[in-house]
């Protein structure tokens, strides 16, 4: 479906506003002291949840295009990735500034003994090069290497999921739901990949 140019700016603005809404609601709840008995933990987990949700949304756009034949939503893939990084950054900053009070010694003491924190840091640091190279100018500059670099998103999805599982201590319902979603999205890509390989082999055999 081709979108009329006069509607594109309005649609893009709506998507940006909707993507910022969770941040606004979390900020409002924090200001009004509505985050419960442990507001820092609630804010920390809330930002992390939304980082994972936007990551799933970005991964879901390619399967959506393949299934529906509608290509215009794929134009939001970069935006979803950037919002995933935005909420992951907030998740990281809440931990460093509010939870640890910006203490480097507390950070050094806690991180080595907490595998889920190490996995979270790995996930966040893997997201940085994707955010930095998300512009069209960087895509053109890197050429074919840009696509290879951005395949890191598949590893990021897995490390983020592991981080979530290791963080949870009792009820695994929510991480299991995300695991199912990510398994389906990555599985779909694997089917596409192997389907292309099989088609190439069949074409090569047919040409002999």
- Long-range CB contact pairs, 175-184, < 8 A, 24+: 178/52, 178/56, 181/56, 181/60, 182/56, 182/59, 182/157, 182/158
Return the pLDDT at 69: 86
CB 82 within 8 A of CB 20: no
List, for the chain, all residue ranges whose pLDDT scores fall below the cut of 50. Answer: 1
Determine the Cα–Cα distance for residues 194 and 175; give it in Å rounded to an integer: 28
DSSP structural state of residue 100: S
Digit-coded pLDDT (tens) for 161-187: 999 999 987 889 999 999 999 999 999
For helices 152-167 and 173-207, angle between their N-to-C axes, nearest 10 degrees: 160
Is the Cβ–Cβ distance between 59 and 157 less than 8 Å?
yes
Instruction: Tell me the CB-side half-sphere exposure of residue 140, using CA atoms within 13 A.
Output: 3
What was the pLDDT predicted at 208? 57
Q: How many residues does the chain have?
A: 208
């Amino acid at each position: 479906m081709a979108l009329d140019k006069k509607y594109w700016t309005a649609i893009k603005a709506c998507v940006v506003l909707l993507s910022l809404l969770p941040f606004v609601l979390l900020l409002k709840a924090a200001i009004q002291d509505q985050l419960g008995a442990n507001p820092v933990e609630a804010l920390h987990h809330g930002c992390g949840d939304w980082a994972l949700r936007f990551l799933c949304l970005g991964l879901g756009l390619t399967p959506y295009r393949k299934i529906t034949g509608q290509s215009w939503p794929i134009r939001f893939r970069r935006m979803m990735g950037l919002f995933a990084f935005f909420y992951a950054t907030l998740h990281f900053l809440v931990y460093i500034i509010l939870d640890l009070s910006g203490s480097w010694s507390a950070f050094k003491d806690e991180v080595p003994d907490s595998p889920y924190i190490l996995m979270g840091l790995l996930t966040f640091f893997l997201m940085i090069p994707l955010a930095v190279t998300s512009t069209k100018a960087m895509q053109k500059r890197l050429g074919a290497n840009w696509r290879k670099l951005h395949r890191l998103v598949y590893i990021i999805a897995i490390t983020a999921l592991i981080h979530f599982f290791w963080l949870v201590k009792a009820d695994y319902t929510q991480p299991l739901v995300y695991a199912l979603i990510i398994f389906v999205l990555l599985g779909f890509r694997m089917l596409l990949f192997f389907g292309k390989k099989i088609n190439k082999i069949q074409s090569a055999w047919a040409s002999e």
